[in-house]
């Protein structure tokens, strides 16, 4: 079974903002080779090249050089709404084409880094603008068009699914594919699930979906579906629905991504980005951070856990959360361990840290051998019964992480 990469991500170089223990970098048309500041889609390939779908072309960034693709070098239409990347490297683009002042067509384009292949008609009919694209576990391409339903391409033939087949609405704005290869389509009128044979509809009348217009879908490690709607975020675990619709002005959602820790990053139309750790919501916007624009169209997380935000008018903002944590830790107290080395009996002391932390002791194999919650001040520990060697003490709460190496002789 082939694996495919479907992502919405971004790039690097320019204006750095450091404040409130956050570090941000913005790339736009004034300080980088980004072709346009409206960044609707982003993907990162296996070589770590960044691909930016914008309103007037496609930009590639290899961390040194920028390359623009437009009508002069292969891109037949300029408005790139969505990008999916196969494991072998071919890029599939969902595109809108402005045919005249009042009429838009669509196109699916494939780029293998050398050649372009364009698909603009299906069975002789013009494709509507393509707002979403994904690749399933079998390698089929799924393209969601505006007013034209869903298009499936198996490498030879195109099949069009519309409302007459069971799709809830023909305006398909988002696609996600779960571990069972079910397809989930977000539309203007709710969500459709397709298992290859049967269609199931979830809307505001027959489910707990917060709002009918669904522009983003992500699926977490537990199989929960997270829907970004015009009325907030809806979570569906297969049975129950949970809605987050008025949290700090969450409002209309345009993008969602999930980081390695399971945090949800939610991009809104007017209110910047929200981070949800399962309990608390944290807002990042132009006022309290270095986010370039409060209208966030796309989000992705890179392998270093950096968050990348594509905005409506500010280009791309990168948030280095790891640097933020280091900056936060530097300014939030100290952790002392003594004696070190020891025979396994030692004392840990927290200074300048008022809130309780959770302790983990981790061996060199990465195994957590001891945990204890709600530690404050000074604590004596005895791990003399453990094998001699090197261990790491990790203390953390929702604001900081402290790590110390200890040696047991």
- Domains of the chain by range and CATH? 4-326 (2.130.10.10), 332-408 (2.60.40.1930)
Query: Which pLDDT value is given to residue 331?
Result: 52
Q: Which of 10-19, 223-232, 285-294, 349-358 has the lowest mean pLDDT?
A: 10-19
Q: Express as a percent the part of the chain with pLDDT over 90.
A: 59
Q: Express as a percent the part of the chain with pLDDT over 70.
A: 89
The tens digit of pLDDT for each residue in 23-43 reads 899 999 999 999 999 999 989
The tens digit of pLDDT for each residue in 17-27 reads 544 445 899 99
Task: Please list, in sequence order, all residues whose beta carbon lies within 8 angstroms of the beta carbon of residue 395, skipping any fewer than 6 positions away.
Answer: 335, 348, 350, 357, 358, 359, 360, 375, 401, 402, 403
In three-state form (DSSP H/G/I as H, E/B as E, the rest C), the secondary structure along 48-87 is CCEEEEECCEEEEECCCCEEEECCCCCCCCCEEEEEEEEC
Q: How confident is the model at residue 367 (pLDDT cuts 50, 70, 90)?
A: confident
Q: How confident is the model at residue 215 (pLDDT cuts 50, 70, 90)?
A: very high
Is residue 304 over pLDDT 90? Answer: no
Distance, CA of 57 to CA of 71 (rounded, Å): 8
Distance, CA of 409 to CA of 348 (rounded, Å): 17
Q: Which of 149-153, 155-159, 211-215, 247-251 has the lowest mean pLDDT?
A: 247-251
The tens digit of pLDDT for each residue in 159-203 reads 999 999 999 999 999 999 999 999 999 999 999 999 999 999 999
Is residue 345 over pLDDT 60? Answer: yes
Q: Which of 38-52, 53-67, 145-159, 332-346 has the lowest mean pLDDT?
A: 332-346
Q: How confident is the model at residue 4 (pLDDT cuts 50, 70, 90)?
A: very low
Q: Answer for the pair 312, 293: CB distance below 8 angstroms, yes or no.
A: yes
Q: How confident is the model at residue 11 (pLDDT cuts 50, 70, 90)?
A: very low
Distance, CA of 132 to CA of 95 (rounded, Å): 9
Query: Which pLDDT value is given to residue 28?
Result: 96
Is residue 334 over pLDDT 80? Answer: no
332-338: average pLDDT: 75
Distance, CA of 316 to CA of 93 (rounded, Å): 19
Structure tokens at 335: 């952790």
Query: Which pLDDT value is given to residue 13?
Result: 37
Higher pLDDT, 306 or 1: 306
128-150: average pLDDT: 95
Write out the DSSP string of 263-290: -EEEEESSS-EEEE-SS-EEEE-TTTS-
- How many other C-beta atoms can be found within 10 angstroms of the C-beta atom of residue 31? 13
Long-range pairs, 331-339, Cβ under 8 A, ≥24: 331/21, 332/399, 332/400, 333/400, 335/393, 335/395, 335/402, 335/404, 337/393, 337/404, 337/406
- Decide: helix, strand or coil at residue 163: helix
Query: Which pLDDT value is given to residue 397?
Result: 77
Query: Which pLDDT value is given to residue 101?
Result: 54
Is residue 254 over pLDDT 70? Answer: yes
Q: How confident is the model at residue 16 (pLDDT cuts 50, 70, 90)?
A: low
Query: Which pLDDT value is given to residue 292?
Result: 96
306-313: average pLDDT: 94
Q: Answer for the pair 168, 191: CB distance below 8 angstroms, yes or no.
A: yes
Q: Tell me what the pLDDT averaged over the chain comes to.
A: 87
């Amino acid at each position: 079974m082939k694996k495919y990469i479907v992502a919405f991500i971004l790039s690097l170089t320019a204006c750095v903002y450091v404040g409130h223990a956050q570090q941000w970098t913005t790339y736009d048309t004034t300080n980088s080779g980004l072709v346009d500041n409206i960044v609707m889609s982003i993907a990162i390939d296996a070589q770590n090249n960044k691909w930016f779908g914008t309103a007037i072309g496609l930009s590639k960034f290899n961390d040194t050089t920028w390359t623009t693709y437009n009508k002069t070098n292969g891109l037949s239409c300029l408005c790139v709404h969505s990008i999916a990347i196969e494991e072998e490297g071919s890029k599939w683009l969902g595109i809108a084409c402005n045919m005249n002042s009042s009429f838009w067509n669509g196109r699916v384009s494939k780029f293998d880094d050398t050649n372009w292949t364009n698909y603009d008609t299906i069975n002789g009919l013009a494709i509507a603008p393509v707002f979403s694209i994904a690749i399933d576990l079998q390698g089929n391409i799924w393209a969601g068009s505006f007013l034209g339903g869903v298009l499936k391409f198996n490498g030879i033939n195109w099949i069009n699914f519309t409302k007459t087949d069971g799709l809830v609405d023909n305006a398909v704005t988002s696609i996600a594919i779960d571990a069972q290869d079910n397809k989930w389509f977000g539309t203007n009128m709710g969500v459709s699930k397709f298992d290859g044979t049967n269609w199931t509809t979830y809307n505001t009348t027959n489910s707990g979906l917060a709002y009918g217009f669904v522009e983003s879908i992500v699926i977490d490690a537990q199989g929960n579906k997270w829907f970004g709607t015009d009325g907030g975020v809806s979570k569906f675990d297969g049975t129950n629905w949970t809605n987050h619709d008025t949290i700090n002005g969450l409002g209309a959602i345009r993008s969602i991504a999930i980081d390695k820790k399971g945090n949800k990053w939610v991009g809104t139309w007017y209110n910047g980005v929200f981070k949800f750790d399962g309990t608390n919501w944290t807002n990042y916007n132009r006022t309290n951070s270095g986010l370039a624009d409060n209208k966030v169209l796309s989000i992705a997380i890179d392998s270093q856990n950096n968050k990348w935000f594509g905005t409506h008018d500010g280009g791309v903002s990168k948030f280095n959360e790891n640097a933020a944590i280091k900056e936060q830790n530097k300014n939030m107290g100290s952790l002392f361990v003594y004696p070190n080395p020891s025979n396994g009996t030692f004392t840990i002391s927290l200074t300048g840290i008022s809130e309780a932390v959770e302790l983990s002791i981790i061996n060199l194999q990465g195994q957590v051998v001891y945990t204890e919650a709600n530690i404050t001040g000074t604590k004596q520990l005895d791990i003399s019964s453990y094998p001699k060697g090197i261990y790491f003490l990790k203390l953390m709460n929702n604001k900081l992480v402290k790590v110390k190496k200890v040696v047991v002789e």
